[in-house]
Amino acid sequence: MPDLILIRHGQSLWNAANKFTGWVDVPLSERGRAEAMIASKKLRDYRVDVCFTSMLFRAMETAVVCLTECSEICGGKTPIFQHGDDDPNWHGWDHYDGEPAQELPIFTTPQLDERYYGKLQGLDKQETVEKFGAAQVQIWRRSFSERPPGGESLEDTMHRAMPFFRDRILAQLKAGDNVLVAAHGNSLRSIIMDLEQLTSEEVPLLELATGVPIVYRMNTNGTVLQKVILN
């Protein structure tokens, strides 16, 4: 039975500074890199065949550390980021057809990016509470359909993340591949909402710790058989 491993990126520098991050491309903090290394050790008894991440560096960095800190996870394969012809910014210098038996592909997509926080991005969370009130900030952060000023709701995030999950990630699982997804609190909430059939009232209450793997044992029909949190 294939495994789906979900991991929220390790602590970023702005997580540590208590700032709204969203699409701002902030790297991991020292603690965040340590969380990713610990996650890799917790996953040493699992095997990954393919990895998906967002386009944001903190997710990609977490994926790479998870896959390389304990080489057993890759089964001796080399993780390689895949750049297709549909990427207008890729320079195409690799000229390499690949050796699938020796490589573990990592695919990046903006559809797994964090929720866009609009005008809140870069603001201190406590100062935002003091300015707008705790109740309003809680609605912006945790309601299902309420958007922060100029930003996305969790529902908006779900509408872009879930088609990719069903078309690409679920297809790999149905083919029998073990999949690692390194992404963000809100894009992962969207996936978990679908996997666990959570309601729009339940999913905002779901808290995902940074750097903690969640493993879903699946069948090849895409149904969850077992869930394990490796905390």
Beta bridge partners of 216: 4, 227
Helix/strand/coil for 29 = coil
Report the C-alpha gap between 42 and 31 in whole angstroms.
16
Beta bridge partners of 227: 216
Report the C-alpha gap between 145 and 50 in whole angstroms.
32
Report the C-alpha gap between 55 and 43 in whole angstroms.
23
DSSP 185-200: HHHHHHHHHHHTT--T
9 is catalytic: yes
Amino acid, res. 183: A
Selecting among 9, 61, 152, 184, the annotated active-site residue is 9
- Report which of 186, 64, 20, 162 is spatially closest to residue 113, judged by C-alpha positions: 186
Selecting among 35, 61, 114, 152, the annotated active-site residue is 114
Kindly list the catalytic residues.
9, 114
